Copies of this chain bind each other. A is one copy, B any other.
Amino acid sequence: MLAFYGLMVALISRGHFMALLVQKFGGTSVGSAERIAAVADRIIRARAKGHRLVVVVSAMSGETNRLVQLAQQINPSAGGRDYDMVIATGEQVTVGLLALALQHRGCKAQALLGWQVPIETDQAFGKARIQNIASENIHRLLDEDQVVIVAGFQGVTEVGEVTTLGRGGSDTTAVAIAAAIKADECQIFTDVDGVYTTDPRVVERARKLSKITFEEMLEMASLGSKVLQIRSVEFAGKYNVPLRVLSSFDEGPGTLITLDNEESTMEQPLISGIAFSRDEAKITVQGVPDVPGAAYQILGPIGAANIEVDMIVQNVGMNKTTDFTFTIQRGDYKKAMKVLESSLVNMSGVQLKGTEDICKVSLVGVGMRSHAGIASQMFKVLADEVINIQMISTSEIKISIVINEKYLELAVRALHTAFGLDAPQDLSEIAETPSA
Q: Which of B83, B109, B161 contacts A100 (CB 8 A)?
A: B83
Chain A interface, DSSP helix/strand/loop, else mixed: helix
Nearest Cβ in chain B — how far from A75, in angstroms?
Answer: 4
Chain A interface residue count, Cβ-Cβ cutoff 8 angstroms: 40
A104 contacts across to B, CB distance below 8 A: 74-78
When distances are taken between beta carbons in the complex, the residues of chain B under 8 Å from A123 are none
- Mask of A91-125 contacts with B, CB within 8 angstroms, 1/0: 01101110111011000011101011000000000
Residues A101 and B74 in contact in the complex (CB < 8 Å), given A92-B92, A115-B115, A116-B160 = yes
Residues on B with beta carbons closer than 8 Å to the beta carbon of A92: 85-86, 88-89, 92
- A79's closest neighbor in chain B, by CB? B100
Contact A74 B100 (CB under 8 A): yes
CA of A223 to CA of B220 in the docked complex: distance in angstroms?
67
Q: Does A36 contact B (CB under 8 A)?
A: yes
Contact of A93 among B75, B89, B116, B160 (CB under 8 A): B89
What are the residues of chain B within 8 A of A160 when measuring CB–CB?
A: 115-116
Copies of the polypeptide in the assembly: 2
Does chain B have a CB within 8 A of A67? yes
Contact B89 A36 (CB under 8 A): no
Contact B83 A70 (CB under 8 A): no
Task: Look across to chain B and name the residue whose beta carbon is closest to the beta carbon of A149.
Answer: B82
Given A81-B110, A92-B92, answer yes or no on A86-B100 (Cβ-Cβ < 8 Å): yes
Task: Kindly state whether residue A71 has any CB partner on chain B within 8 Å.
Answer: yes
CA distance A70 to B90 in the complex (A): 13
A111 touches B82 (CB 8 A): yes
Q: For residue A150, which residues in chain B have a CB less than 8 angstroms away from its CB? A: none
Question: In the complex the two chains form, is A99's CB within 8 Å of B82's CB?
Answer: yes
